[in-house]
Chains A and B, each alone.
Chain A
Amino acid sequence: MNILSVKDLSKTYKSGSRSLTVLDQVNFDIQAGETISIVGPSGSGKTTLLGLCAGLDSASTGSVQLNGQALEKLSEDQRAAVRNQDVGFIFQNFQLLPTLTALENVMVPLELKKRKDARTKALELLEKVGLGDRATHYPTQLSGGEQQRVSIARAFANEPKILFADEPTGNLDTETGEMIEKLIFDLNKEKGTTLVLVTHDTELAGKTQRIIHIKGGKIQEDAHA
């Protein structure tokens, strides 16, 4: 069953009389539970593709079906509801809310789903990523690796059907990066989540079941590992 279906997807930015096509007629499907990497050089359009697939942005033409819903037919607030229900995110620069503690950051998606056990569940997730004792710390009181672990706990909190990760180890040293990679893949395996990774790192990409190579806004290669 396809969790994500991308059809003839294009994105063009207009600046005055000039237009720049960042994605050009992209097509692919992702099966539920699949792990996939999108790789390509800087400016190839991989982050744009991730944003469109996750419903963070709207396409110029084409369609994105996420868990059976055509994102282009939804308003921004409706897409927000879809993100809360079905999508998890891990970012290169962690993107924790600076005024919330680690625990509260993880609680947000659960609270949005009106889960009564938000606190217990969030604590459980923090324990799982090894930060049970740092729950009341604010992001500025945590190291980069710790912040990314909180971010992973938050991403898995709402038990998403699909997880998008944008260069999740890009801001970390090698050792911490490897630890984060392991955490993501372990949790992914445990929860059976679909994982879409955007990365420069071919070694990390090699750990996924499928790699899509993108260049100049077009898919160059779509290969199973």
Chain B
Amino acid sequence: MPMPDFAWILRMAFRDFRKNISRLLLFVSSIVVGIAALVAISSFGENLTSDIDNQAKELLGADLVLENNKPIGDQPIDSMALNTASEVNFASMVAFPATGASRLTQVRALEGDFPFYGYLETIPASGDADFRAGGKKALVEKILMAQFDAQVGDIIKVGEVEFEIAGELQSVPGQTGITATVAPAVYIPMAYLEETGLVQYGSRVEYNRYFVFAENTDIDLLIEPFEDEWEIERIDADTVEDRKRSTGRSFENLSNFLSLVAFIALLLGCVGVASAVNVFVKEKLASVAVLRCLGVSSRDVLLIYLFEILVMGLFGAILGSILGTLLQFILPAVFADFLPVEVTVGISWLSVGFGVITGLFVSVLFALLPLLKVRNVSPMATLRPETADSRLMKDPSRWAVIAGILIFIWGFSYYLLGSAQLAFGFTGFVVFAFGILWGVGQLIMWAVRKFLPISLRYTVRQALSNLYRPNNQTISLIATIGLGTAMISTLFFLQNQLLEEAKFADKEDQPNLLMFDIQTPQLEAVKEKVTGRDLRILQEVPIVTMQLNEINGVDKRENEELPDDENYSRWMYNREYRVTYRDTLIDTETIAEGELIPVGARGDSIFVSLSASFAEGNNLKIGDEIEFNVQGRPIKTYIGSFRNVKFNQVSTNFIVLFPNGVLEQAPKFHVIITRTKNDRESAAIQSEVVREFPNISIVNLGVIVETLEDILNKISFVIQFMAFFSIATGILVLISSLIISKYQRMRESILLRTLGAGSGTVSKINTLEYFFLGSLASLSGIILSFAATWLLSAFVFDMNFRPAWGAGLMLYLAITGLTIVLGWLNGRKIINQPPMEILRGNG
């Protein structure tokens, strides 16, 4: 075959293009939103990475931080630093004496000028200076101030000491809004820490020492000689580079996840492109037959239309990239609660280029599938038009295009996820989700056709029949709108389900108040206070802290020498274990493997039980030998069983469970779990206990639900913002398909009105058609999301599935309503004009 005459092909493409420009624009509009989302996220990620680089020192607030769970003594590098600061962190109740209210907070006792980079932002601005000027002053996180309606100048009580609030804390370097929600901070001067009486046995305390060195100091080189010693002491050293790496990594993960969500929106758009091009091609078949008849080769015909798609794809991609670049200006506000640095916004040419190339590529790739049809159009169709609609299924090239699409999805997700396996998983998920929606759509359509009662009113039957009209794109609309709906509603249902589950825990006889850090001498008094109010003690749990010396004879130092695939996690040796002892399971536990073995049952060996997920994550087996260090005394144990632990109740859950008869004499503290009748009773006992024993921390279910709700709202806002792109794409595909089918609808409308149907009847038929279309699409999505929520509830969150019928109904009404409104806007012109006017072409 001779080389194609590109000049002529371009000329023909241009000639065809100028009459189809508005129609072709509709095709590419489907990808605009997806590309915009991709470019916005990618630009945001790029800018965030560079901001993390630029503000890395503010992330840490110092050049180096040493962390340990015991006091960090004098260090040799103290003398090398320009300045140092110390901080002691621990969770404790803070009381507001004016109202008698109290809440668990993160207390930070500070000494020195930390942060050395960045600053503690307070209201009033002088709050920080005032706090450091001396005296019993505190800085309190804004979320706490708001919750207790506290003012600067009010008094708070931390342990035994009362502090005056010097300022409302707005932001702390390196800390996100989410951290503040989970553990709101209260800063107090280190000088009064001891006086608070809060640091006692069992308190989970973290000691931080911050260092700042002369500019241009190579920190890694500086600390190298001390690292071995710190390792033994279990001191963790964190440099600016470390923090930059870990923060960068987590935001890269976040950015990649969001890009995947944007990619789903783009894929939905691609389905829109394929569907619209399919209609375009069907309309072009007659022209293709004429061109073939006049002697144009099948390859050249394909190239003419491909070139048109290429130009429009480029246009759509550029438009999407511009929109995406503009969109990223609002992203810092969307992600505000998750960002540890201030994000600058600006054009990222790398992201724009990435968006343009991706847009161009996907529009061609997905358009190619329907476009291949033009290769098989017989010139005989000029004489027999009914033979024009050649079957794509006959063309073997379609397999190459389908393979190309799958490779593209896999390749793109591999680029984002960095794992071939995950990319296969994602590709599988996409194929599955589309397949399911396609299947649901087909099934519903088949069922309507098969079981449509003839006795239905004419308008209803006609509207339902309209769904089958050729080129109606009903199935692709169900797939695109359905997937968008499914994404949004799954998130919505799941959020609802988690909250319901938390609230459901507040049922009869279920614990709802937990007191911890109770010292042994305080135990009886606390129990008396509880029982004195006619409350039952549901659990009384002794807790012993310990560390791990050896696993199967391998100690920490030997473990360091082992190759990566043979050693145990360093974290297992470094962490502190809070352990209880009993010979029975509690409600939230079940045995996964082995059995609980009491002391003496098998010689003098001690058998412990481990959480199954912990054991699985760390490659431990039944029978493995573990030596613990209990307050300096080694205790050799063997793994006797693994337990599955449910974390959906107010309860104490332990990674390691000892049998009775081993730890009774060890130093310990206690947890008491009870159930109060209402929030008022909870507040009263909380206030009474904290007043007398300020070191005891109390959590009630109300606070947990509140915090969970707050966090879920923040997360779901971000995810729903991303899912919005999918819905927007679905709507664009809907609008484009309505406009494409306008001519056909117009002809049907004329026919009906010529046959005597009034505008009311035509309008009713159209409205009903949109109602059915919207219903099918939204119901498919909602059904899919119910299934997804059920699967996630059963297999991931281990919860009972409670369908959110109300929320489902709201979504159904919203999406169906939107479809009807859009359809009505598209068709109102047809209905209001006399048939002759449209026939004459004035319509």
> Which A residues lie at the B interface, using CB under 8 A?
47, 50-51, 56-57, 76-77, 80-85, 87, 89, 91, 95-100, 104, 108-109, 111-112, 114, 138, 140, 154, 166
* B→A interface (CB under 8 Å): 1, 5, 8, 11-12, 15-16, 18-20, 286-287, 289-299, 378-380, 382-384, 841
Q: Is the CB of A99 within 8 A of B16?
A: yes
**Complex contact A104–B380 (CB within 8 A):** no
Beyond A57-B378, A76-B298, A80-B296, 19 extra complex contacts between A and B, CB < 8 Å: A56-B293, A76-B292, A77-B1, A80-B295, A83-B294, A85-B295, A91-B383, A95-B382, A97-B287, A97-B291, A98-B19, A99-B16, A99-B18, A100-B16, A111-B8, A112-B8, A112-B294, A112-B295, A138-B19
Q: For A81, what are the chain B residues with a Cβ–Cβ distance below 8 Å?
A: 295, 297
Q: How far is the CA of A111 from the CA of B294 in the complex (A)?
A: 11
Residues of A within 8 A of B18 (CB): 99
Closest A residue, CB atoms, query B301: A80
B383 touches A80 (CB 8 A): no
Contact between chains at A109 and B294 (CB < 8 Å):
yes
Of listed A50, A85, A104, A108, residue having the most chain B CB within 10 A: A108
Residue of A whose beta carbon sits closest to that of B376? A76
CB-based contact B382/A91 at 8 Å? yes
| CB-contact partner of B295 in A50, A83, A97, A104, under 8 A | A83
CB distance from B397 to the nearest CB of A (A): 15
* Residue numbers in B under 8 Å from A112 (CB-CB): 8, 294-296
Q: Contacts A95-B286, A99-B19 hold; do A89 and B8 have CB atoms under 8 A apart?
A: no
Given that A56-B293, A80-B297, A112-B8 are contacting pairs, would A47 and B15 also be in contact in the complex, using a CB cutoff of 8 Å? Answer: no
Q: For residue A50, which residues in chain B have a CB less than 8 angstroms away from its CB?
A: 383
- Which residues in A have their C-beta under 8 angstroms from that of B297? 77, 80-81
The reply to whether A57 and B296 contact each other, CB–CB distance below 8 Å, is no
User: Which among B5, B289, B290 is the interface contact of A114 at CB below 8 angstroms?
Assistant: B5
* Most chain A beta-carbon neighbours within 10 Å: one of B380, B382, B383: B383
**Which chain B residues border A108 with CB–CB below 8 Å?**
12, 291, 294
* Alpha-carbon separation in the docked complex, A91 to B382 (Å): 8
Partner of B293, one of A95, A104, A140: A95
Please judge, given known A-B contacts A95-B293, A112-B296, whether A56 and B382 are in contact too, CB under 8 Å: yes
Are A89's CB and B293's CB within 8 A?
Answer: yes
Contact of A89 among B16, B296, B298, B382 (CB under 8 A): B382
Q: Which label, helix, strand, loop or mixed, suits the secondary structure of the A interface?
A: helix
CB nearest neighbor in A for B5: A114
Pick from A56, A80, A87, A100: contact of B380, CB below 8 A: A56
Tell me how far the C-beta of B23 lies from the nearest C-beta in chain A, rounded to whole angstroms. Answer: 11
Please provide the 4 A-B residue pairs with the shortest distance between their CB atoms, ordered closest to farther.
A84-B295, A99-B19, A56-B379, A57-B380
Q: How far is the CA of A87 from the CA of B295 in the complex (A)?
A: 9
Distance from A172 Cβ to chain B, minimum over Cβ atoms (Å): 18
Residue of B nearest to A141 (CB): B841
The complex places the Cα of A97 from the Cα of B16 at a distance, in Å, of 9
CB distance from B16 to the nearest CB of A (A): 5
> Taking CB as reference atom, which chain A residue is nearest B18?
A99
- Residue on B nearest A88 in the bound complex, by CB: B294
Q: Which of A47, A76, A89, A95 has the most CB of B within 10 A?
A: A95
How many angstroms from the CA of A219 to the CA of B778 in the assembled complex? 61
What is the bound-complex CA distance between A95 and B290, given in angstroms?
7
Closest Cβ–Cβ distance, residue A135 to chain B (whole Å): 14
A47, A140, A154: the one within 8 Å of B383 (CB)? A47
A91 to chain B, nearest CB (A): 6
Name 26 A/B residue pairs within 8 A (Cβ), A-sorted. Answer: A51-B380, A57-B379, A76-B298, A77-B1, A77-B297, A80-B298, A81-B295, A83-B295, A85-B295, A87-B295, A89-B294, A95-B286, A95-B290, A95-B382, A97-B16, A98-B19, A99-B16, A99-B287, A100-B16, A108-B294, A109-B295, A111-B11, A112-B8, A112-B294, A114-B5, A138-B19
Name the B residues within 8 Å of A56 (CB-CB): 293, 378-380, 382-383
CA distance A87 to B297 in the complex (A): 15
Q: Which residue of chain B lies nearest to A77 when distances are taken between CB atoms in the complex?
A: B297
Q: Which residues of A contact B294 (CB under 8 A)?
A: 83-84, 89, 108-109, 112, 154
Q: Chain B contacts of A77 at CB under 8 A?
A: 1, 297-299
Which residues from A are CB-within-8-Å of B298?
76-77, 80
User: B392 CB to closest chain A CB, in angstroms?
Assistant: 17
Distance to closest chain B CB from A116 (angstroms): 12
A80 CA / B286 CA spacing, docked (Å):
16
In whole angstroms, how far apart are the Cα atoms of A108 and B287 in the complex? 12
Enumerate chain A residues within 8 angstroms of B290, measured Cβ to Cβ.
95-97
* Residues from chain B with Cβ under 8 Å of A51 in the complex: 380, 383-384
B377: shortest Cβ distance to chain A, in Å? Answer: 10
Interchain CA distance A154-B291 in the complex, whole Å: 12
Q: Report Cα–Cα, A166/B383, bound state, in Å.
A: 8
In the complex, A76 Cα to B292 Cα: how many Å? 9
Greatest chain A CB density within 10 A among B19, B20, B294, B382 is at: B294
In the complex, what's the smallest C-beta–C-beta distance from B222 to chain A, in angstroms? Answer: 73
Among residues of A, the one whose C-beta sits closest to the C-beta of B385 is: A93
- In Å, the complex CA distance between A85 and B383 comes to 20
Q: In the complex, what residue of chain B is closest to A96 when comparing beta carbons? A: B290
A184 CB to nearest chain B CB (Å)? 18
| CA distance in complex: A140, B286 (Å) | 15
The residues of A that contact B8 with a CB separation of less than 8 Å are 111-112
List the B side residues contacting A95 at CB < 8 Å: 286, 289-290, 293, 382
CB-CB < 8 A to A76: which residues of B?
292, 298
Tell me how far the C-beta of B101 lies from the nearest C-beta in chain A, rounded to whole angstroms: 75
- In Å, the complex CA distance between A52 and B89 comes to 91
Q: Look across to chain B and name the residue whose beta carbon is closest to the beta carbon of A108.
A: B294
Instruction: Report the bound CA distance from A56 to B5 in whole Å.
Output: 23
CB distance from A63 to the nearest CB of B (A): 18
CB–CB A83/B384 < 8 A: no
Q: Which residue of A lies closest to B295 (CB)?
A: A84
Q: How far is the CA of A87 from the CA of B293 in the complex (A)?
A: 9
The answer for the CA separation of A99 and B8 in the assembled complex, in Å, is 15
Asked if B287 contacts A98 (CB within 8 A), the reply is yes
Which residues of B have CB within 8 Å of A109?
294-295
List, in ascending order, chain A residues with CB within 8 A of B19's CB: 98-99, 138
**CA A144 – CA B16 in complex, angstroms?**
22
What residues of chain A lie closer than 8 Å to B1, measured between beta carbons? 77
Q: State the Cβ distance, A40 to closest chain B Cβ, in Å.
A: 15
Docked pose: A16 CA to B380 CA in angstroms: 22
In the complex, residue of chain A having the shortest beta-carbon distance to the beta carbon of B283: A98
Closest A residue to B384 by CB, please name it. Answer: A47
Closest to A91 in B: B382
In the complex, A89→B5 CA distance in Å?
23
| Most A Cβ at <10 Å: residue of B1, B16, B19 | B19
Shortest Cβ gap from B181 to chain A (Å): 60
List, in ascending order, chain B residues with CB within 8 A of A104's CB. Answer: 15
Q: How far is the CB of A170 from chain B (nearest CB, A)?
A: 12
Cα(A114)–Cα(B2), bound, Å: 13
B378 neighbours in A (Cβ, 8 Å): 56-57
B residues near A138, Cβ cutoff 8 Å: 19
**In the complex, A98→B1 CA distance in Å?**
28
- Cβ of B724 to closest chain A Cβ, rounded Å: 37
Q: How far is the CB of B374 from chain A (nearest CB, A)?
A: 13
Contacts of A57 in B (CB 8 A): 378-380
Q: Which residues of B contact A99 (CB under 8 A)?
A: 15-16, 18-20, 287
Which residues of A sit under 8 angstroms from B380, Cβ to Cβ? 51, 56-57
CB distance from B499 to the nearest CB of A (A): 57
* CB-defined contacts of A82 to chain B, threshold 8 Å: 295
Q: Return A147 CB to nearest CB of chain B, in Å.
A: 13
Chain A CB within 10 A, most for which of B11, B291, B296, B384: B296
- The listed residue with most B CB atoms (<10 A of its CB), out of A80, A138, A154, is A80
Return B481 CB to nearest CB of chain A, in Å.
31
The residue in B1, B286, B297 that gathers the most chain A C-beta atoms within 10 A of its C-beta is B297
